[in-house]
């Protein structure tokens, strides 16, 4: 209901700015007067063709009208980020749980669509790195091949490879918490590095 009221206010505001009466908007959109009155009173929510006609008459895009109906809720944005910590239980949960939340709320909360895409791109990228490393290590173990190169001074290749797993987990936790705080403060999230699977 709150969503309908916000949209109703915006349509009425745009109509007034254009200097249209309800009758004139009815003619411009080819919608009957009663429909315009119901929309502006918040009794009904315009969808599909009705939304397109209103947007065209008011000289805005349908997406712009939809954006005005989105609520601002930084707590939900923060929770979306925090939900990715489920990767600690099992890596793929860090993708699945945020994805479910993103799909269910992306058109209802401001910034959630963009935040969700950035978060999911990062988590998918992280999972690819994580599982690739585990496959390589498993193959090296199966074929009894020693990992010769080391990126940590003082440690052998195999030891460095094993130590990289908790490092990956630690970095993921830090980045998630950092962005959860940014979301709560209504700031843009920074999830890097990430392959842009979702654009």
Q: What is the pLDDT of residue 70?
A: 65
**Which residues, 6+ apart, have CB-to-CB distance to 128 below 8 Å?**
195
**Which residues, 6+ apart, have CB-to-CB distance to 71 below 8 Å?**
2, 3, 6, 108, 109, 110
* Last-in-domain residue among 14, 48, 67: 67
**CA separation for the pair 119, 125 (Å, rounded):** 10
Confidence of residue 66 (pLDDT cuts 50, 70, 90): confident
Co-location of 179 and 92 in the same domain? yes
Residues 175-183, mean pLDDT to the nearest whole number? 98
**Which range marks the domain in which residue 11 is found?**
2-67
Residues 67-93, mean pLDDT to the nearest whole number? 90
Cβ proximity of 90 and 68 under 8 Å: no
* Last-in-domain residue among 46, 67, 88: 67
Q: What is the pLDDT of residue 160?
A: 65
3 state DSSP class of 35: helix
Confidence of residue 43 (pLDDT cuts 50, 70, 90): confident
- Of the ranges 51-60, 154-163, 186-195, which one carries the lowest mean pLDDT score? 154-163
Co-location of 90 and 111 in the same domain? yes
Res. 134: pLDDT tops 70: yes
Residues 48-59, mean pLDDT to the nearest whole number? 91
Cβ proximity of 7 and 45 under 8 Å: yes
| Cis, bond preceding 76 (omega within 30 deg of 0) | no
Res. 151: pLDDT tops 70: no
Number of domains in the chain: 2
What CA–CA distances, in Å, run from 180 to 12, 74, 107, 111, 174?
Answer: 36, 9, 20, 13, 10
Dihedral sign, Cα of residue 166, residue 168, residue 170, residue 176: negative
Q: What is the pLDDT of residue 115?
A: 96
* Last-in-domain residue among 18, 44, 67: 67
Co-location of 160 and 92 in the same domain? yes
User: pTM value?
Assistant: 0.66
Res. 84: pLDDT tops 90: yes
Closest CA to 189 of 124, 128, 121: 121
Confidence of residue 65 (pLDDT cuts 50, 70, 90): confident
Co-location of 46 and 81 in the same domain? no
Share of the chain above pLDDT 90, in %: 58
Confidence of residue 106 (pLDDT cuts 50, 70, 90): confident
């Amino acid at each position: 209901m709150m969503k309908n009221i916000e949209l109703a206010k915006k349509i009425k505001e745009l109509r007034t700015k254009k200097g249209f009466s309800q009758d004139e908007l009815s003619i411009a959109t080819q919608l009957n007067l009663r429909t315009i009155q119901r929309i502006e009173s918040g009794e009904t929510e315009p969808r599909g063709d009705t939304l397109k006609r209103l947007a065209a008459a008011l000289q805005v895009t349908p997406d712009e009208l939809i954006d005005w109906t989105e609520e601002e809720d930084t707590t939900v944005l923060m929770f979306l980020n925090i939900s990715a910590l489920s990767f600690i239980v099992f890596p793929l949960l860090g993708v699945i749980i945020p994805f479910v939340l993103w799909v269910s709320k992306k058109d209802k909360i401001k910034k959630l669509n963009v935040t969700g895409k950035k978060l999911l791109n990062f988590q998918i990228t992280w999972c690819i790195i994580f599982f690739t490393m585990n496959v390589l290590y498993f193959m090296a173990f199966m074929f009894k091949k020693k990992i010769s190169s080391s990126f940590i001074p003082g440690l052998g290749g195999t030891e460095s490879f094993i130590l990289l797993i908790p490092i990956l987990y630690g970095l993921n936790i830090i980045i998630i918490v950092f962005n959860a705080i940014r979301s709560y403060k209504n700031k843009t999230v920074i999830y890097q590095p990430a392959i842009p699977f979702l654009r």
